[in-house]
Structure 1
Amino acid sequence: MRMRIGYDGGCRFTAACRSHELIIDQPTDNGGSDEGMTPPELMAASLAGCVAFYVARYCTQAGIDTTGLEVGCDWTVAEDAPRRIGVFTVEVDLPSVPENRRKAVERVANQCLVHATLMHPPVIDVVLK
C-alpha cells in the first residue's frame, strides 16, 4: 500500500491513497487554515474507524443490531519526553449489544489492525531522497 502526501503550502497537505484524497491542516491558532484534521486527529480517526469496522463486521456476522453504533476516541499527550500521544481512550457505543455478547464485542474491538499495530509498533524507516 502506498500513501502520498503532497505539500500545498502553509500548513496544508493533501494525502492521496488509491483513488482517495483528504486534506491535512492545522487549526488557525497553530498557523493553519483549519481545512482538515491534524495528523494526531487522523491517527485517532484511524484507530476509532478501525475499531468501528471490526465491531460492525462482527455484529453483522453474529446477527447483532448495529443501529446507533458509534465509536469515540479521546487522547492525551504524554507529559514526559518524547512528545507523543500517551493515552488513547476508545469508547464503543452499541446500544443493543446483548449482555452475553459484550465480552466478544470487546475482544473484537481490541483486535483491530490499527490497535494491534499501536500495541506492537512496527519498524519505521524514514529515507530522505
Structure 2
Amino acid sequence: MKTTVARIGKQKYKTEIQAKNHIISADEPLEVGGEDLGFTPTELLEASLAACSVMTIRMYADRKGWDLKGVEIKVGFKRNLTTHQVTFIKEVRLEGNLDSEQRQKLLDIGGKCPIEKIISGPVSVVSELL
C-alpha cells in the first residue's frame, strides 16, 4: 500500500522522494533555511492536483474524440488561519477547437480527478512508528 518514500539526511531540509523507480527532490526556500534544491511540500501538493486534473481532462477529451490540443492548469491555495479552511484555486486553460459546452464539460471533469476527490473529502492521516 505505501508506494512513496521520503528520505532526509543531515543536509538541512533537502529530501529525496521515491515512488517506484522515479525520484524527485524537495526542499525549503532559502528564506526559511533550505537551499531551494527542489519543490516545497506545498508545491508538491499543488503539482499533484494540477497533474491529476490535466490528465483527467486529457483522458476524457480523448475518449470523446474532442479536438483538445493542450491543457494548462495553474494551482495555488489560500488558507484561513482562523477557520483553518483551505481553498485551492485552479486556473484552467484549454487549447483546441472546442465549443462552449465542451469547454464547460472539460472544466467539470477536471474537478472530478482522484486527487481533487481526496482533498475535497474527509481526510485523516494515521502515523505508525516502526
State TM-score, norm by structure 1: 0.89
5 Å-filtered alignment, 1:1-129, equals: 1=1, 2-8=3-9, 9-80=11-82, 86-96=86-96, 97-129=98-130
| Structure 2 unmatched ranges of 5 or more | none
Aligned residues: CA RMSD = 1.7
Query: Which structure dedicates a bigger proportion of its chain to strand?
Result: 2
Structure 1 position 102, deviation (Å): 2.6
| Structure 1 unmatched ranges of 5 or more | none
Structure 1 position 61, deviation (Å): 1.5
Structure 1 position 81, deviation (Å): 5.8
The count of residues paired between Structure 1 and Structure 2 equals: 127
Distance between the aligned counterparts of 1:46 and 1:26, measured in 2? 18
The percent identity for this pair of structures is 24
Partner deviation per Cα, 1:14-38 (whole Å, 9 max, x = no partner): 0001000110100111111101011
Sort the Cα spacing of 1:81 and 1:30 in 2 relative to 1 into closer, same or farther, 3 A: farther
Partner deviation per Cα, 1:35-55 (whole Å, 9 max, x = no partner): 101111100000011000000
With 18-27 and 6-15 compared, the bigger mean Cα shift is at 6-15
| AA matched with 1:101 | Q
Distance between the aligned counterparts of 1:101 and 1:81, measured in 2? 36
Structure 1 position 100, deviation (Å): 2.3
Distance between the aligned counterparts of 2:105 and 2:70, measured in 1? 18
Sort the Cα spacing of 1:28 and 1:55 in 2 relative to 1 into closer, same or farther, 3 A: same
| AA matched with 2:13 | C
- Secondary structure, in 3 states, of the residue corresponding to 2:119? helix
